[in-house]
Amino acid sequence: MNIDKLEIDKFTQRTQGMYRRLTDLYENLNTMPIMPDVLPQALVELGSASEIVSLATEELHQQNEELIQTRTLLEAERQRYQDLFEFAPDAYLVTDTLGIIREANHTTATLLKVSQNYLIDKPIVNFVALPDRPAFRSYLTQICECTKVKELVVRMQKRDGELLDAAMTVGVVRNQQGKPIALRWLIRDITERKQAELALLKNDGDLTQNRLWHKYCKGESISLNLSTLWYVCQGCVKLSTLCETGEEVMVGLAAEGMVFGSSLTMLHIYQATALSEVELVSIDVAEIAASPNLSHTLLPKINQRLRQTEFFLVIAGRRRVQDRFDQLLLLLKQEIGEPVAEGIRLSVRFTHEELASACCTTRVTITRLMGKLQQQGQIYFDSKHHIIFKDI
* DSSP structure class, residue 388: E
CB-CB neighbours of 258 under 10 Å: 20
In the chain, what's the furthest Cα-to-Cα distance? 131
Specify the CATH architecture of the domain 198-390. Answer: Sandwich (2.60)
CATH homologous superfamily of domain 91-189?
PAS domain (3.30.450.20)
Share of the chain above pLDDT 70, in %: 79
**What is residue 27's predicted lDDT score, i.e. its pLDDT?**
66
Residue 42 or 160, more confident: 160
What region does 385 belong to: left with phi over 0, alpha with psi -120 to 50, or beta? left
> H or E stretch including 66?
helix 38-86
Handedness of CA 77, 79, 81, 83 (dihedral sign): negative
Predicted pLDDT of residue 230: 93
Please tell me the pTM assigned to this model: 0.51
Write out pLDDT tens, residues 177-198: 889 999 999 999 888 877 766 6
The alpha carbon of 367 is separated from its chain's Cα centroid by a whole number of angstroms, namely 33
At 160 the pLDDT is 80
